[in-house]
Structure 1
Amino acid sequence: MCGITGWVSYRRDLTTQRKTLDAMTETMSCRGPDAQGAWVDRRAALGHRRLAVIDLPGGAQPMEVPTPDGPVAMVYSGETYNYTELREELKRRGHRFATDSDTEVVLHGYLEWGEELAEKLNGMYAFAIWDSRTEKLVMIRDRMGIKPFYYYETDDGVLFGSEPKAILANSLAPAVVGADGLREVFTFAKTPGHAIWEGMRELQPGDVAVLDRNGLREYAYWRLTADEHTDSEQETVAHVRDLLEDIIARQLVADVPRCSLLSGGLDSSAMTALAAKQLGEQGESVRSFAVDFPDQEQHFQPVDVAPTQDTPYVHAVQKHVHSDHSDIVLDGAALSDPAVRRAAVGARDLPVGLGDRDNSLYLLFKAVREHSTVALSGESADEVFGGYPWFHDERREADIFPWMGGGGIRLDFSASLAPDVAGRLQVDTYLKDGYATAVSKTPLKDGETGLEKRMRQVCYLHLTRMVQTLLDRKDRMSMAVGLEVRVPFCDHRLVQYVFNTPWSLKTFDGREKSILREATRDLLPKSVAERKKSGYPGSFDPSYLAAIQSQTAELLSSGHPMLELIQQAPLREAAHALGPEVGTHQRMGLERALDLATWYDLYKPEIKLD
């Protein structure tokens, strides 16, 4: 796991631009705390920050292979889980390897198969290969978009990086946010390919982008497809279990300490139990971590996405699988620390997030990193198996993204916009257009109608829109502290298989995530196997609310320029209300205002609404 960046220019001599490359690379020092590397020739400059996970001494980057017609060099971020099989195949084809790293396998795979290499990889990855033989840059991102990749076309080439901040460190890419960028900021429905910065694009999941002297072209090597599902209920459950066994085995491979992120929900508990089973066969135990808050039992407030507290279920799993477990307890002072907010906002490059849930995720990962370098997460199982409440009620029928509103957490952030800004941005229209576009791209089987058709659309919306926001959040917060988080439920084989499982089969026991529950029931305590969906927890510590109220009151009196974007009267009311009178939406308004101001202070963006 690493941070990558680079610059290709067909009219500049980049051997004179090492200082700029180093500045771009340095922005991602947190993503790769173990080493920094650079590779530069006249037309291409590649930068790399390394987090060593596999082949600690041998996987240094950028990595180069000399050929008779010129070198081929690569910067790579992520993990390829089938690299051992690919290495053996490449050896049979005559390739020789100097390291045990997956990076070298991917680079030799390009030499053998070219751009078609992408179709052979199983993993989470984003990488760029400069082929000096043809003066071509090849950029590839994993199928689900687990690892981020951004690029910015210049007048004679391209800038790229794992994060926007790497690109913005180059003077060719000014920090400008236009109307569409702000529309993306104030919605919770990430548009594939869009970045909030003017002129910047995100390489879409499952895409290859190729730059040569004729320009840049991007094409898909993988998309979800609608296929016939012929397996019975029993066969489906068995196949999902077999897939999960294989996925977990692959994703436990590392030369550094590993652990599991355990919430006590079905997803993370099943994953932890499978890891415990496999490690137990090797004479090891699994290390697990959970987040908690002081006096949570006293202050907890249930909502439909999080109806129960995690801790009792976490401890039930810990006892059942005998994990080496730690609870990371975060109090209001830690969560409200402006330095923590600054770190979380800076990690995401975004001005609006999920408030204390972002801050706590950052602090959880920071604490985990003191013990482990690799963590397994249950992220995305709800999108794959249909776990959210709105999969199962009237919200699934609405002509808008089903997760918009409801559940006590308002995910439509545009409600906080100042009236004149809201009028110019027309976020509702942007959302409706984005929804219509997303639905129109849903792959359908011939003759698919009624509930099955609608639920395929709902699943597709989650797998191509919502999951992107959550995966990006997970990657940024973890890599900000040098922690590699792996997401087994995003293995494309599992995603594709379950996507084509009929909705009636996904809910065969009348509940959410029926297939996953049945496939792993034998590994879990009964209380956990039967637990309803409960999302990542928030803190209800009164001291946190008091602190952000005080910080917001100070912000309002400061005349900060970002206050022009949002409504100040309701913000002022929330900042001065008594704690029990502050509702969930008001509290989130406080957090959004603080996030916006922090983002502005970090990036000094130029805002263009026209």
Structure 2
Amino acid sequence: MCGIAGWVSFQGDLTGQTETISAMTASLEYRGPDAAGIWTSTRAALGHRRLAIIDLEGGRQPMAAAGDDAGDDAGDDAARPVMTYNGEVYNYRELRAELQALGHEFRTVSDSEVVLRAYLQWGARFAERLDGIFALAIWDPRVEELLLVRDRMGVKPLYYYQTPDGLLFGSEPKAILAHPQAEAVIDAEGLREIFTIVKTPGHAVFRGMHEVLPATVLRFSRSGSVEECYWRLEAREHTDDLTTTIATVRRLLEEIVEHQMVADVTVGTLLSGGLDSSAITALAARALARKGVEQPLRAFSVDFRGHEARFRSNVQWEDPDTPFAIEVAEHVGAEHIIVELENEQVLDPEVRTAVLRAQDLPVSTGDMEYSLLILCRALKEQMTVALSGEAADELFGGYTWFHDRDAVESDTFPWHSPFEKAGGIGALRAIGLWDRLGLGEYIKRRYAEALDDVPRLPGESGLEARMRELTYLNLTRWERFLLDRKDRISMAASLEVRVPFTDHRLVEYVYNTPWAMKNFDGREKSLLRAAMRGVLPDSVLDRKKNPYPSTQDEKYEAALRERLESILSEGGPVLGLVSESEIRVLLDAPAGSYGMGGPWSARAVIERLIEFNTWVTMYDVRVEL
């Protein structure tokens, strides 16, 4: 994986703008610590930071097309299409063979060159042929057009910002904000995105900045920008019986995991002990065994010191993860590494600053982001690529809100319902933000927009129709929130995380599988459990879903409250958003007030206010209400 940045100007001359494009590129150094490169011409400047995974020596970028493939002006370097690319294309070997049959010659064995030559062969339609996770930019000087392309499910991030005479882009907002023409301004609309769990497609929070939509080619030229969607999730009739469906899910997952093990570096897994990560770990171990690899798969878990002794079951967590992770590792013959944390590590100012810098926004849902960064740093000491079970819950129906009648029937995003029932909104109401920002109306508007997008099967009604809606909402809103978090934080540790459950073939198949099959035994993720029967221990297959591990140590929230008190005494910028008296209402309430968990609990809101205060200062944000 890598970091990309760029600048197009139709009025100036960017040939000498190496300092600016270098600054934009340098802001993404942790995404690509292995190499850096810039390319400039009159109208465009491109930057690249590289994390070397395939063809460690030959895949350097930005990469220009070879002279004999670039058109009539092949002798002029500035007349050749040039690309800066972030991601992995898993079918690059198959595409390479197809392109060679069409007459293309290759100078490297990298997937990067395959992607660039695919563009030369098929034009803007080349994205349809790519199977992987990617975000890339191609500047074609022959027609003075920039193409920004993003993978189907939006695993890899890509942002852009239009200027009076052109456009800026980058893997993360920080790359764009490193340009003097970009301003870090947030208005009421941006604040609503920060304080709600909505994840509006294309919304980048900073005013004037946008996210390239998943499965989209954005074409930008002198005449403006045009978006072309090259893939979309469609509703199709499912004709397989249950036995065939279970077998198909198993086969697809085996093929996908094996495909995603391709790398010239060591590949490991993130293992929590839950069904999703355990399934990926087991299939990865089998893939290595089939290849005759003698070294065992490395599987990494995270836990808090003393967590098992302190553990108390609640609505989210039924039992500790670590014993199950150990069992899975032993079952599949993996080398298991547990990263054990102390509260002090998660509260470390360096860790918290690194997480905020990685996400560019104060969007923490608690201590999970910080422990994830520490875990990813530990992985990076031993490997560069890891597979994760992210996105299975959205696809197979794993969350509680898929099985809670109130959530299913609620007139809002399903994940909001359990948090509201637990009193979660109370914390935002207590500090006045819920009403002041009109968060209820904002959520209602975004929910209506999301429902309008749902691909539906003609004649489908009742529970099946509603569960199709819920699955789509999870895949296109909630999942993208989690995928963005995983990408940003893992890349902050220079670690590439691959997510097999986002493969579009699996997504298409399972999305169109009737809910009656996904829930055939009345439990969450029935279909995935059945597909993994015989691969994983029954104890793991039959346990209740747990979220990502989170500390239950009361000292953690006490430390957060002390930090917010310090901000009040120092007169931090958060007071421009929430008054001291409103914050005191939150601080004076006992732990556990205003909801027992979730992103709107007192602890989570305290965390968000602390982050907001740091963010405004760190990014020199101008708040305009």
| 1:556/1:572 contact within 8 Å kept | no
CA distance in 2, matches of 1:494, 1:527: 25
Q: Residue in 2 aligned with 1:223?
A: 232
Match of 1:386 in 2: 397
Q: CA deviation at 1:301?
A: 3.5
1:333–1:543: 8 Å Cα contact kept in structure 2? no
Q: Are 1:520 and 2:537 an aligned pair?
A: no
Where do 1:355-504 residues align within 5 Å?
355-394=366-405, 395-406=407-418, 415=428, 418-419=431-432, 422-504=434-516
Partner residue, 1:198: 207
Residue 412 of structure 1: how far off its partner (Å)? 5.8
Residue 175 of structure 1, CA deviation? 0.6
Superposition pairs of residues 272-351 of structure 1, within 5 angstroms = 272-281=281-290, 282-284=292-294, 285-351=296-362
CA deviation after TM superposition for structure 1 residue 220, in Å:
1.0
Compare 276-285 and 44-53 and name the one that shifted more: 276-285
- Aligned residue for 2:138, secondary structure, equals strand
Residue 15 of structure 2 aligns to a residue whose secondary structure is helix
1:16 aligns to what SS in structure 2? coil
Alpha-carbon separation, structure 1, partners of 2:222 and 2:158? 21
After superposition, residues 461-610 of structure 1 pair within 5 angstroms as: 461-566=473-578, 568-569=580-581, 571-572=583-584, 575=587, 584=597, 585-609=601-625
- Shift in Å, 1:411: 7.1
Q: What is the alpha-carbon distance in structure 1 between the residues aligned to residue 365 and residue 211 of structure 2?
A: 22
Q: What SS class does the counterpart of residue 161 from structure 2 fall into? A: strand
Q: Which runs of 5+ in 2 are unaligned?
A: 74-78
- Taking a change above 3 Å as real, the CA distance of residues 215 and 455 of structure 1, as seen in their structure-2 partners, is same
The one of 278, 301, 309 equivalent to 1:269 is: 278
How far, CA to CA, are the matches of 2:429 and 2:297 in structure 1? Answer: 44
Q: In percent, how many aligned pairs have the same letter? A: 51
Instruction: Compute the displacement of 1:549 (Å).
Output: 2.2
Name the CA distance, whole Å, in 1 between partners of 2:413 and 2:300.
Answer: 32
Confirm whether residue 147 of structure 1 aligns to residue 153 of structure 2.
no
Contact 2:429 2:435 in 1 (8 A): no
The answer on whether the counterparts of 1:341 and 1:598 sit within 8 Å (CA) in structure 2 is no
Tell whether the 8 Å contact from 1:188 to 1:412 is kept in structure 2 after alignment.
no
1:114 aligns to what SS in structure 2? helix
Deviation of the 1:569 alpha carbon: 4.2
Distance 1:440 1:414 in 2: 31
> Is 1:396–1:458's contact at 8 Å kept on the other side of the alignment?
yes
| 1:406 match: secondary structure | helix
Structure 2 residue 18 is matched with structure 1 residue 2: no
Structure 2 residue matching 1:153: 3-state secondary structure: strand
Q: SS where residue 456 of structure 2 aligns?
A: coil
> If the length of structure 1 is used for normalisation, what is the TM-score?
0.97
Given residue 371 of structure 2, which amino acid in structure 1 is its aligned partner?
Answer: S
Equivalence for 2:244: 235
For 1:461 and 1:476, how far apart are their aligned partners in 2?
22
For residues 113 and 607 of structure 1, what CA distance do their matches in structure 2 show? 45
- Give secondary structure in 2 for the equivalent of 1:516: helix
Partner Cα separation in structure 2 for residue 590 and residue 181 of structure 1: 19
Q: Structure 2 length as normaliser, TM-score? A: 0.94
CA shift for structure 1 position 219: 2.1
- What CA deviation, in whole Å up to 9, does each residue of 1:554-600 have, x standing for no partner? 11211112123236446435546776889652222321121111211
Change beyond 3 A, Cα 1:410–1:520: farther
Bigger drift between 7-16 and 579-588 goes to 579-588
Distance 1:91 1:331 in 2: 54
RMSD of aligned Cα (Å): 1.8
TM superposition shift of 1:532: 1.2
Structure 1's 371 and 417: CA in aligned 2 closer, same or farther, altered over 3 A? farther
Q: Tell me the matched-pair count.
A: 608
1:157 correspondence with 2:166: yes
After superposition, give the CA deviation of every residue in 1:482-501 in whole Å (9 maximum; x if it has no partner): 00000000001000110000
Per-residue deviation, residues 377-423 of structure 1 (Å, max 9, x unmatched): 0000000111001101121110000101526987769816843x544
Matches within 5 A, 1:71-86: 71-86=80-95
315 and 18 in structure 1: CA distance in 2 versus 1, 3 angstrom threshold: same
Task: Please give the secondary structure, in 2, of the residue aligned with 1:358.
Answer: helix
